[in-house]
Amino acid sequence: MTKMENTEKKQTSRPVSLLLLIPALLFGLISIAMAVVGLGLIPLLPALIGLLLGGVSFLLFRNSYKVFTYIIFGIALIAALISITRVTLFESKVAADEAFDSTLIRTEEGIDADLKDLFEDSDFGDELPMDSISVE
Amino acid sequence: MKRLLIAAGLVITSLIIIPVHRINAQTSVVNPFQSGEILTFKGAYYMSSLWADLAELKIEVSDYTAEGRSLFSLRATASTYSNYDSFFKIRDLYQSWVDKNGIKPYIFVRNVDEGGYKFNMKYVIKRGSMQARLDFTRNDITRTSVINITDNTQDLVSILFYVRTLDFERMSVGRTISIPTLIDEKIDNVIITYRGKENIKTEPFGTISCYKLGVTVNNKGLVNKESNNIWLTADKNKIPVQVKAEIPVGSIQLRLTDAKGIKK
């Protein structure tokens, strides 16, 4: 293969390679973002797609954007590592929330009056439907 | 002859009625749960074998006395895990006050706070007039409406406890039960289908035999009729251990992670 032919092949392969690498980079970045937020093991999915697209580009166009491909691999692997580490080492917890706690208390405060009104109301209706209850 | 027939009819009727009356007088309602029961669930999104834990659901049963009446307060709270709070914080409260004998709701409160979208709903249920009064509050503005109910109407919390009182051992697979339920501002029929028994792996109890129940609203599932299921332990407690709802991409699952105060 002459030097000219080689250059021509490289020129045609580069745009095709980019068509694979740009989505691969996007998937890699999405997986990093998802892993940082803490979406469990879901970030593994875009990370795997990123690795797959990067891998295809690397196998088909070995000499195109080599460093760029390695960066994509790196991003996807870091995202996968963050997700797996977070899931295995850190337990999900609900943060203490004083405002919500006070809502729980406030909700119960007015209920006595509502129940009193309800039980005193002639429309209350006190008959007990027994049809669905298990009995001994 | 006519008198004789009437007398015979009365005797036969009394023979039929009296034993039933005696049974009702001697029996007491047995609930499969008690005050102090706390069930904690982990809510997660599943995409094939990958998942993300999103929120915690806690369901608590406590005693409540009002005007000399003994009630259950059934409280369900849903809270997102701390890592989501800065993106989409959920702090929802669903609470129902029900009669201990019959799981008959009197008041149902729903306080929603989802990503800053807030509203409060309070239903006061009057069975005498077969109506529920709804106070809907959003942005400090309250509007009141009246919803016609049926005698067996449940709310979003009490329905779970009502279903726990059902006797599935006597049911055949495929049997359906329609329960009118207050959802948003109307009554929808929640259809429960008994789908037999399945062994389910749980965190607190290990692998346990469960009743599998299909749940649809007005006979529609999120994806299809068989896409939403709940599993209750096949024992006297009928503890909900897993809930699964298929969505167009993946599924939402609730899994029991802790159970305290279970009735012995």
**Span B152-189, pLDDT tens digits:** 899 999 999 999 999 999 999 999 999 999 998 889 99
Contacts of B101 in chain A (CB under 8 A): 128, 133
C-alpha distance across the termini of chain A, in Å: 91
Q: What percentage of chain B exceeds 90 in pLDDT?
A: 68
Distance from CA of A42 to the nearest CA of B (A): 5
Q: Is A115 left (phi over 0), alpha (psi -120 to 50) or beta?
A: alpha
pLDDT attached to residue A6: 62
pLDDT, mean of residues A31-58: 92
Q: Chain A: residue nearest B123 by CA?
A: A114
Nearest to A116 among B42, B66, B127 (CB): B66
For residues B55 and B251, give the distance between their C-alpha atoms in angstroms, rounded to a whole number: 14
Domain ranges for chain A: 3-89
Give the pLDDT confidence of B48-98 residue by residue, as tens digits. 888 899 999 999 999 998 888 889 999 999 999 998 898 899 999 999 999
Alpha helices by DSSP H, listed for B38-157, are 82-85
pLDDT attached to residue A72: 93
Contacts of A111 in chain B (CB under 8 A): 64, 66, 97, 107, 109
User: B131-138 and B240-246 as β-strands: parallel, antiparallel, unpaired?
Assistant: unpaired
For residues A50 and A22, give the distance between their C-alpha atoms in angstroms, rounded to a whole number: 9
pLDDT attached to residue A38: 85
Top-confidence residue, B262 or B101:
B262
Answer whether residue B39 shows pLDDT above 90. yes
Q: A133 — contact with chain B (CB < 8 Å)?
A: yes
pLDDT, mean of residues A44-57: 93
Top-confidence residue, B216 or A133:
B216
Structure tokens at A48: 């795997």
Three-class DSSP category at B170: helix
Interface predicted TM-score of the whole assembly (ipTM), two decimals:
0.73
Q: A112 — contact with chain B (CB < 8 Å)?
A: yes
Least confidently predicted of A84-88, A105-109, B202-206: A105-109
- Binary contact (A129, B151; C-beta < 8 A): yes
Q: Chain B: residue nearest A36 by CA?
A: B83
pLDDT, mean of residues B142-147: 94
B194 band by pLDDT with thresholds 50, 70 and 90: very high
pLDDT attached to residue B200: 96
A12 band by pLDDT with thresholds 50, 70 and 90: low
